[in-house]
C-alpha cells in the first residue's frame, strides 16, 4: 500500500499546541502562538506527550490531511470505514482512493490491529515529507507515548 500526501494543515504541531492551550488560556490565538514560540519545542513536546498520555486526543482533530492511497482493496477499505467513521475515502476507480483523515483518527488507526495496515503507509508518508516530526516521533516512533 502506498500513500502520497496531497495536503496537510500548516504547522500541525503548533496547531495542536494552540488547541490545547485554548482550553486553559484567556489569551487570543495570536498571543498563545507568541507564548508557544517563546517556550519552544520542548514545551510542545510536553503538551503533545500529555495529550497522547491522557487520551485527550480531541486536540489532534485540528491537524488534518488529504492523501492519495494506492493498493487498498474495496472490502478492506469498507471494513475500516465502518469502524472509523471520521475517515473520508472516495474511490478513484483503478487509481486508488482520495483519503482525508485527522491526526486523532490516525493515532486510533495506528493503535488498532485492524486499522494499522492503513495507518502505516500514511505515517511513512508523513515521515518522508517531514510534515510533523515531533508528533510522528511521539505518536508513532519507537518510544511512542502509550495511550
Partner 1 sequence: MRVKLLYSTDLKAIERALEAKGAHLDTDVLMDHVVYMFEIEDCSRVTTHQLVRHRVASYDQESQRFSAATKEGVVTPPSISANEAALDAYEDGLKAVYSAYEKMVAAGVPKEDARYILPTAIKTKLVMTVSARSLMHIVWQRTALQAQWEIRELAAQLHGLARGATPELWGEIVER
Using CB under 8 A as the binding rule, whether residue 31 contacts partner 1 is answered as: no
**Phi, psi (5° rounding) for residue 27?**
-75, 165
Residues 6+ apart with CB under 8 A from 126: 5, 8, 65, 132, 136
Residues 6+ apart with CB under 8 A from 119: 106, 109, 110, 140
Using CB under 8 A as the binding rule, whether residue 90 contacts partner 1 is answered as: yes
Question: How many chain residues are in contact with partner 1, going by CB under 8 A?
Answer: 32
Question: What are 115's three cell numbers?
Answer: 486499522
Using CB under 8 A as the binding rule, whether residue 146 contacts partner 1 is answered as: no
Q: Which of 39, 45, 88, 111 binds partner 1 (CB under 8 A)?
A: 88
Q: In b/e form, how buried is each residue of 59-74, taking b as 16+ CB within 10 angstroms?
A: bbebbbbebbbeebee
Site for partner 1 in 113-142 (CB under 8 A): none
Using CB under 8 A as the binding rule, whether residue 92 contacts partner 1 is answered as: yes
Single out the segment in contact with partner 1 by CB under 8 A; choices: 7-15, 71-79, 107-115, 136-144. Answer: 7-15
Using CB under 8 A as the binding rule, whether residue 7 contacts partner 1 is answered as: yes
Residues 6+ apart with CB under 8 A from 29: 18, 22
Chain residues that interact with partner 1, rule: CB under 8 A = 4, 6-7, 9-10, 15, 18-20, 22-26, 28-29, 58-59, 61-62, 64, 66, 68, 88, 90, 92-93, 95-96, 98, 100, 102
Amino acid at each position: 500500500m502506498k500513500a502520497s500526501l496531497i495536503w496537510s494543515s500548516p504547522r500541525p504541531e503548533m496547531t495542536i499546541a494552540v488547541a490545547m492551550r485554548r482550553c486553559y488560556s484567556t489569551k487570543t490565538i495570536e498571543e498563545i502562538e507568541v507564548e508557544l514560540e517563546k517556550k519552544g519545542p520542548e514545551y510542545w513536546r510536553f503538551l503533545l506527550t500529555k495529550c497522547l498520555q491522557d487520551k485527550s486526543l480531541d486536540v489532534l482533530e485540528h491537524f488534518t490531511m488529504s492523501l492519495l492511497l494506492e493498493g487498498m482493496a474495496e472490502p478492506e477499505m469498507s471494513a475500516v470505514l465502518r469502524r472509523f467513521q471520521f475517515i473520508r475515502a472516495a474511490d478513484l476507480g483503478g487509481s486508488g482512493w482520495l483519503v482525508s483523515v485527522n491526526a486523532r483518527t490516525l493515532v486510533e488507526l495506528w493503535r488498532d490491529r485492524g486499522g494499522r495496515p492503513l495507518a502505516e503507509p500514511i505515517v511513512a508518508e508523513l515521515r518522508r515529507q517531514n510534515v510533523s516530526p515531533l508528533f510522528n516521533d511521539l505518536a508513532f516512533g519507537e518510544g511512542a507515548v502509550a495511550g
